[in-house]
Amino acid sequence: MALENAAPVEKQLPLTLVKAGLAILLFPMLGMPVPPAAGSPVLLPIEVAGADGTTAEVTVDVPDSAASQVRSLWMQVHNLAYAEMLSVQVNGSAWLPVNNQTATVAEPGKSYGGIGGGFSTLQMTLPLPGGVVVGHATTVRFRFNRSNGLSSGFRVLAFNFVTADGQMALPSTAFAQDNPNAWTPPRRESTDIALGRRYWYSGQLVANNAPGAPQIRAHCADCHTRDGRDLKYFNFSNRSIIERSKFHGLSAEIGEQIASYIRSLPVPNPGRPWNPPYQPGPGLDAQPVSHWAAGAGLSWVLERDQDSLPFLFHSAGEGGELRITADAFRPDGNLNPREIPISLQLPDWGHWLPRVHPVDAWGADFLHSDLYQAYGDPEAPAPVKSKGRGGEPQKGVRALLESRDLSKLIASGEVVSAFDRWSKAQRKFLAGRVERTPGGWSPELTDKVYSTQLWQLTKTWEMSQEFGLEERGREYYGASGEPRTWLNTASLATAPASAGVPDGPAGMGGSALTNEYYDNAWYEVQLLVNSGNHRHHTREPIDWVYVVDRCKAMYLESRRPEPARVLVAVVKAMQSADPKVGPDNQVRGWRPDDTVDPRILVNSDWAPIFQALDPEVRRAITEAMLTAWLDKNTKYRTAQYFNQGTTSLTQAYALPKELGGISGGNVWLAAPQFQAAGVSPDTVARLVKWGRSYANMAASLHY
């Protein structure tokens, strides 16, 4: 099941890597250390995990004709979380530290902070001293220099030597891939597997591998999924599990027992530790729902955002002309973002896991909180405090899912309501702790708050997988719902901004850039797993105007425009209403003032993002979006937008002034901007005509 979630590798890889002969290098996995063996294929990836100073070495056969021309080492590395975590030695050279100054990080990772930034996997080129590469047997050593208290190593997914003319010195046959399906438990006795399970649930851990590290209250099952299925699903190797067990103070023997327990789990294993969960890409929906979380793979993280456009506008083959029509923007349509690749690399599984468990962050307060109890852990110390209509205690999500007929629970909305209560409990819990923290935000507070958000996200994934919820959305949302979806907005609630984490030194990674990356990444995951299923209520469950605006905030930090990703979000925003419900339903119906409108394409604040597009493409997109928006508006009588004797929900909503240029009404006043953007005179005239009718009706009804 190594590659079932993906199309053939050669079709997925960026063209530059295919030409370089690296087509087999992006989907490797390592079970145990790699021995040096000149002339034998190097098994990838190379896992360098363990104590500070742990080293792995490999030997490759460099052709004589290329050796003297080698100038640098190209690498693709997963989990390179901070500067000089990795050093490289080639033959007898000095150890070469790897950081953003010594290595050239490739785009798009460079724009998101490079080493220590947002992306978990980076490609980079490290210059080498002259003459260190010799013909035939050349040894490369990778060293894990030191832990930062969180990391226990990294993976070299691929490497090669680059010659003066930019060619790769080693052929693809110099490398081979480990096969996770060939892995076996380190200890096969049933007693060892049973002990591994016991230690998974109750083993006493310490915070990290530093001397004298304190004991922690959390166990493996608390930060991961309860049964450990995440490690099996994403194919964490035996070695990585053993070394992580040792990192947290357990013995190598116990680590082997835990790894044996994980290997024995009867769950699918389509993922990889480095492939971001739910990363979109073509063909993803053709795979079983059980493989959806594995994502489309790193190879579908595009080098340029504009390369998403053919998938959005269905061009006729590679390099074909874009088919930009109003159909792509129809509010009554259902764009599938799961199969539109983007240039934003989403967080890998390791970045879904909390850095510190809430019980170690907040103590007993967490165990007795509505937040923990609303999860429904059977080991919770007290019943959930909130009461149902009959006064009985309401069950937490897990307890509810385990209690009775799941189909009835989903169809009745009880599961969705339980997830919603749990989300509200998180906001209340965190808000109270932030308010009571002297001095306000600090890196330490951010770490605790964000880890609590991640804990809830991980547990949401746990239950979605364990109870098969991802394929049952239509039982609640109906036929218009997505064929695969979440039943909650847990990813939205994971964005640092959702808890008020500020940009700057107190933000994620100590920078506005990294903070904005995580805001954008978790909002993007939310768009992919549940964009609302056409069930919006005014501006819930997703306030699209805010979500889209974070894309602009990301651009202001990265200076990397993402017009295609913005357009996908805008389309999903316009499609958030139920096509069968008209504007006379002010809560659930189509409300042109409540969502992102076509002015985003002519608004001066957004110009730097859309200027990245070809001028004719930009004009055609503007015309298509405005046409689709007008077609939807004129589908209804103008009077249907107004209910006499009621207060406009849009007026009651306090939209910030800085967002008024892309939402909130009066789109027709931007007619001169649309005309200047090249929109046809007929379309502009149509906009003005509808706007006058709408404004006159509002005035007559004193709206």
**CA of 122: how far to CAs of 48, 74, 112, 117, 488, in Å?**
16, 11, 10, 10, 31
Domain edge (last residue) among 242, 263, 284: 263
The domain in which residue 73 lies consists of 25-178
β-pairing, 175-177 with 42-44? parallel
**DSSP collapsed to 3 states, 211-264:** CCCCEECCCHHHHCCCCCHHHHHCCCCHHHHHHHHHHCCCCHHHHHHHHHHHHC
Residues 163 and 107 occupy one common structural domain: yes
Gap between the Cα atoms of 211 and 110, Å rounded = 34
Contact 107, 125 (CB under 8 A): no
* Edge-first strand listing for the sheet containing 86-90: 55-62, 136-144, 86-90, 96-97
Residue 145: inside a domain, yes or no? Answer: yes
Q: Which of 178, 205, 226 is the last residue of a domain?
A: 178
Contacts (Cβ under 8 Å, ≥6 apart) of 669: 691
For 614, counting Cβ atoms within 10 Å of its Cβ (0-12 exposed, 13-18 middle, 19+ buried), the class is: exposed
Residue 198 resides in a domain: yes
Per-residue pLDDT, 421: 96
Name the domain count of the chain.
2
| Structure-block tokens of residue 522 | 């978790």
Distance, CA of 567 to chain centre: 18
Strand partners, 60: 138
595 within domain boundaries: no
Are residues 62 and 205 located together in one domain of the fold? Answer: no
Are residues 252 and 123 located together in one domain of the fold? no
Q: Which pLDDT does position 24 carry in this prediction?
A: 31
Whether residue 120 lies inside any domain: the answer is yes
Task: Determine the pLDDT at residue 314.
Answer: 85
* Domain shared by 193 and 115, yes or no: no
Task: Give 633-666 as a DSSP string.
Answer: HTTS-GGGG--TTS--HHHHS---GGGTTTSSS-
Among residues 139, 136, 142, 159, which one has the least CA distance to residue 67?
A: 136
- What's the chain's Rg over C-alpha atoms? 27
Going 680 to 681 to 686 to 688, the CA torsion angle's sign is: positive
Same domain, 154 and 202: no
d(CA 222, CA 13): 37
What pLDDT, in 10s, does the model give residues 150-161? Answer: 999 999 999 999
Q: Which among 243, 263, 283 is the end of a domain?
A: 263
Same domain, 123 and 49: yes
pLDDT in tens, 470-526: 999 999 999 889 999 999 999 999 999 999 999 999 999 999 999 999 999 999 999
- Domain presence at residue 482: no
The whole-angstrom separation of Cα 644 and Cα 619 is 39
Whether residue 33 is found in the same domain as residue 145: yes
Q: Are residues 171 and 37 in the same domain?
A: yes
Residue 79 placed within a domain: yes
Pair 84, 142 in one domain:
yes
Instruction: Report which residue type is found at 434.
Output: V
Half-sphere exposure of residue 143: CA atoms within 13 angstroms, side-chain side: 14
End-to-end CA distance of the chain: 60
Helix (H/G/I), strand (E/B), else coil: 297: coil
In a domain, 166, yes or no: yes
CA-closest candidate to residue 535, choices 605, 584, 480:
480
| Residue 238: Cβ within 10 Å count | 21
Alpha helices of 20-179 — where are they, by DSSP H? 64-67
> What is the C-alpha separation between 672 and 691, in angstroms, rounded?
14
Q: What is the pTM of this model?
A: 0.92
CB of 344 closer than 8 Å to CB of 561? no
The 3-class SS string of 15-40 reads HHHHHCCCCCCCCCCCCCCCCCCCCC
Residue 567 forms part of a structural domain: no
* Segments of the chain scoring below 70 in pLDDT: 1-39, 316-319, 378-393, 644-654, 702-703
Rounded CA separation 449/549 (Å): 23
- Extract the tokens encoding 702: 């004193």
Separation between Cα atoms, residue 676 and residue 684, nearest integer Å: 10
CATH number for 41: 2.60.120
Angle between helices 512-529 and 544-558 (to 10 degrees): 140
Are residues 206 and 161 part of one domain?
no
CB of 486 closer than 8 Å to CB of 542: no
Parallel, antiparallel or unpaired: strands 205-206 and 215-216: antiparallel
Asked if residue 100 lies in contact with residue 67, where contact means CB atoms within 8 angstroms, the answer is no
Report the C-alpha gap between 545 and 494 in whole angstroms.
18
Q: What is the dihedral of CA 537, 539, 542, 547, to 10 degrees?
A: 170
50 shares its domain with 173: yes
Do 192 and 117 share a structural domain? no
3-state class of 125 per DSSP? strand
Give CA–CA dist 199/271, Å, rounded. 24
Q: Which two tokens stand for residue 50?
A: 């363990």
